[in-house]
Structure 1
Amino acid sequence: MNDKAHISYHTARRFLIDLIKNNDFSGDDEIIKLLHSILQGKSCLNYFTDGVVSRVHIDKETRIFLLDYSDQEVKMPCLPKTVFLLFLIHPEGVNFKGMRAYLQELYNIYQIVMKKNIEADKIKQILGNLVDPMSNSIYEACSIIRNRLLKVAGPSRMKFYDITGKRGGCHHIKLDRELVTVEHEKLRKMMNR
């Protein structure tokens, strides 16, 4: 899907209409299935990528992309993005109740993700709430992550990108880390430890 044609919507629309009008596709099962799924209101993207596990790309600005599904950024606020990146860094998983052990790492990731300067005490307060076992902050962050990923990955593929685990046990992201590329230098060093 990296070889996308770069033509305007109107040109593509006109080309598609001409193609459909002037060709008999009755013998092409793939096109018939695709047109049928469109008429039933299903996404064309799902037709082409169903069952495909997308690569995750994190660029120099720490923007997250699921390259094989869309060129749309998976936008997240700083705290959920920090949590998502922490779990990508730790394929072995992290126990929510033991997150205090990752406080310094969370702080470092948050500083990378944050685009503007913020007082260190404010960051420590935000992250302190996140790692507090009595707080719901980690569950709220995971809910936001799930919601944002769902928009790009779709429900059938969420199992690869979602932070999952049993209550009281380790939570992790199932995605094969071979599918993750990181352009941001500091973040890449953290991933490769």
Structure 2
Amino acid sequence: MFLMDNIKREIKRLVMMLREKGASEEEIRELFEVEQRPLSRLLVTKDYRLLIGNERLEVKMRPICKAVYLLFLNHPEGIRFKELPDYREEIGRYYRSMKLSTQARKKVEQSIINATDPINHSINEKCARIKEAFLKVMDAETATHYYICGERGEVKRIGLSRELVTWEQKESPPE
């Protein structure tokens, strides 16, 4: 923290010097513009691991969160939370394929119902955990393209271009 404060103070001092030497505010602002890095590819493996970029950095999350993520990834047009019950079967296929007999069937089914019930706030928690998982492996600005976003009551979607997404399966994702 001490180093960060020193750097900030030094930057302010240098900006003041630039102003004193006649640099315009526009010139100073241009110095702070950060060049947008190209987004990395997202690979969804056959066993539904999420790997980012050439270095294949894995984004780890619980299976129910991953099932929610895959649902939204498979629907670039987005989904309103109130419409989630219509997608219960699809999210169930993802989740069951990841949870093969590791939990009691009743618990698996209840997790699917909770995640697709717009009145139960479980979906908000899942989206927060998905966001958290991406923030662990990339900077905040880049991560916004990869996790589920949208205004309250509006369509939620993943902004990443689907041209950057590869599903390792031979056929398209479960429908």
So what's the TM-score if we normalise by structure 1?
Answer: 0.67
Deviation at 1:85, TM superposition (A): 0.4
Given the alignment of the two structures, is residue 190 of structure 1 paired with residue 173 of structure 2, yes or no? yes
> Which residue does 2:97 correspond to in 1?
112
- Matched-pair contact (CA < 8 Å) for 2:68–2:115: no
SS of residue in 2 equivalent to 1:94:
coil
Q: How far has the Cα of 1:178 moved from its partner?
A: 1.0
Match of 1:64 in 2: 50
Would you identify which runs of 4 or more consecutive aligned residues in structure 1 move more than 4 Å?
Answer: none
- Counterpart residue number, 1:54: 40
User: Under a length normalisation based on structure 2, what TM-score does the superposition of the two structures give?
Assistant: 0.73
Letter in 2 for 1:114: K
**Cα distance in structure 1, aligned partners of 2:38 and 2:136:** 16
Distance 1:52 1:137 in 2: 33
Report the RMSD for the aligned CA atoms in angstroms.
Answer: 2.1
Structure 1 residue 153 displacement after superposition: 2.1
Report the secondary structure of 1:152's partner residue: coil
How many Å apart are 1:50 and its aligned residue? 5.2
1:145 to 122, 126, 130: 130
Question: Quick check: 108-117 or 75-84, which moved more?
Answer: 108-117
Q: Report the Cα offset of residue 117 of structure 1.
A: 4.1
Work out whether residues 66 and 153 of structure 1, in 8 Å CA contact, stay in contact via their aligned partners in 2.
no
State the Cα distance separating 1:71 from its structure 2 match. Answer: 3.0
1:92 is aligned to 2:86: no
Residue type of the partner of 1:67? Answer: G
User: Which ranges of structure 2 fall in alignment gaps of 5 or more residues?
Assistant: 1-6, 8-34
Q: Where do 1:19-38 residues align within 5 Å?
A: none
Q: Distance in 1 between matches of 2:113 and 2:56?
A: 34
Distance 1:115-1:55 versus aligned 2 partners, 3 A rule? farther
Give the structure 1 partner of residue 114 of structure 2.
Answer: 129
In 1, the alpha carbon distance for the partners of 2:61 and 2:108 equals 17
Q: 1:177 maps to what in 2?
A: 162
Question: Which stretch shows the higher mean deviation, 110-119 or 140-149?
Answer: 110-119
Matched-pair contact (CA < 8 Å) for 1:57–1:64: yes
